[in-house]
Structure 1
Amino acid sequence: MKADVRLVITADGSHTAINQVLNKTYHSIHGAYQESQRVYIELGLYAALKMFPHNPLRIFEMGFGTGLNALLTAREAEIHQHQVFYTAIEAYPMPIEEIRQLNYDQFLGTSYLINLHESSWNEPVEINPCFSLTKLESNLQELQTDERFHLIYYDAFAPTAQPELWEPEIFQQMANLLLPGGMMTTYCSRSYVQRNMRAAGLTVEKHPGPAHKRDILRAIRPM
């Protein structure tokens, strides 16, 4: 089933989409790009590159959505010439008609967005020589995989819209997906989210967030 969305321009000039059913945005209205860059690239990808400098990075994204996080990661993989194997799960993909209207390639000077969205499901697709994408059209609760990851981008809709995706059992599932020393980043820093992460055995750090967001989280699986 395709998501019912409409596009809006955020404060930094990049698009976000609004899920019409949940009445929630995929990215911050204060700046889609600046939020994704801070939460997932600066706090997540750059830290993982330092932690695992000699390993091809395996990244899991909860909530493929607009593809912005994947696009930024594909760009960074090419810049750093570091191999990234990226797996993303999405229960309700956006319609391709809306994807074609997103301004991310123009905004970032990239050319991958349509390839990210039109790539086949459930099999790896090379987007550039350093970035391979596997998309899974499924609910997170139904995910079954033996793969383990260096980094998780946790980008589900807010707890007010999808509370079931912020429960203790979900974070235990995420902790089980991480390799020792692996990390997970998310925009949501609510106290009970932190407690649920710690209950899964993760070490939780609070970090300064993007514009209009005081705190964001990085959770680490101990070595």
Structure 2
Amino acid sequence: MQRKIITTADGSKTIQIEEWNEQYHSLHGAIQEANHVYIKHGLLFCYDQKSLSNETLEGSVQNISILEIGLGTGLNAFLTLLQANEHQIDIYYTGVEAFPISSNEMAALNYPETLRVPEKIALFEEMHKIPWETDKRLTSYFILHKQQKLFKDITDKDRFDLIYFDAFGARVQPELWTTSIFKIMFDALKSGGVLVTYAAKGSVRRAMQSVGFGVEKLPGPPGKREMLRATKHST
């Protein structure tokens, strides 16, 4: 399937699948979208919730386990790594991707430069080069574990605090937005765990609710009116 590198409205690059007329990120801004959906309403929300609970001792490092559905360009993982270092959050990050990008595609992405952290280019490259199915500590606060497989083959139970659901849209891959997939996501989360996604379609919300998620609509990133956050409520 033909893929090409394109530049989005905030200057950050993404990958477009020409056959589908589908992009890995929003044309309104790849970094803007990722920061809004996955960092602000996902990671930092989860961090704040844990800070309000009694799960961690005062002054201790917070532990957050994240599953990303669609590792793709590595943008969400890279932004999370930067936040982990800034806030001193101990993060174990599992990125699932069935069709990894090539080394040439990785080299054409400009996330460290656009984020004004050019000194971390080598770190971004290392994220893509580490072996699959291996824990790799990239910083004092961030461990990455990459899995090359289909989303339907995920079998984790009660393991993750947070899921970044960043699959291709339902227009081109409706099978990734079904009740069966969201049941896998529900089972993979710990009680009280959260899933965030850029999507806001009614059919997606209903599929989430049908497996037991509590779902809320939130303001979307630039160019999109709404997004969804789903919670596996404690029983």
TM-score by length of 1: 0.96
For residue 43 of structure 1, what is the aligned residue in structure 2? 41
Q: Compared with structure 1, are the counterparts of its residues 58 and 105 closer, same or farther at alpha carbon in structure 2 (3 Å cutoff)?
A: same
Q: Of residues 50, 53, 78 in structure 2, which corresponds to 1:52?
A: 50
- The superposition leaves residues 134-170 of structure 1 with CA deviations (integer Å, 9 ceiling, x where unpaired) of 0000001112334610000000000011111000011
Secondary structure of the 1:56 match is strand
Tell me the residue number matched to 1:10: 8
Which is greater in Rg? 2
Please name the residue that 1:30 is paired with. Answer: 28
1 CA distance for matches of 2:81 and 2:99?
Answer: 22
Q: Per the alignment, in what secondary structure is the counterpart of residue 170 of structure 1?
A: helix
**1:72-96 residue CA offsets vs partner (Å, 9 max, x unmatched):** 0000000001100000100000001
Unaligned runs of 5+ in 2: 57-61
Provide the rounded CA distance (Å) in 1 between the counterparts of 2:174 and 2:134: 30
Match of 1:136 in 2: 147
Q: Secondary structure at the match of 2:128?
A: helix
TM alignment of 1:71-150, pairs within 5 A: 71-110=78-117, 111=120, 112-146=123-157, 148-150=159-161
Question: SS where residue 83 of structure 1 aligns?
Answer: strand
Structure 1 unaligned segments of length 5 or more: list them. none
Deviations for 1:7-26, whole angstroms, at most 9, x for unmatched residues? 11100111111124433100
Over 3 Å counting, the alpha-carbon distance change for 1:76 and 1:185 in structure 2 is same
Q: Which amino acid letter does the alignment assign opposite residue 75 of structure 2?
A: L
Structure 1 range deviating more: 105-114 or 29-38 = 105-114
Match of 1:160 among 154, 167, 171: 171
1:4 shift after superposition: 4.1
Give % identity: 38
SS at match of 1:61: strand
Shift of 1:108: 1.3
Whether the aligned pair in 2 keeps the contact of 1:4 and 1:94 (CA below 8 Å) is no
Residue 37 (structure 1) shift:
0.3
Whether the aligned pair in 2 keeps the contact of 1:5 and 1:94 (CA below 8 Å) is no
The alpha carbon displacement at 1:51 in A equals: 1.7
State the secondary structure of the residue aligned to 1:134. strand
Q: Tell me how far apart the structure 2 counterparts of residues 146 and 222 of structure 1 sit (CA, whole Å).
A: 15
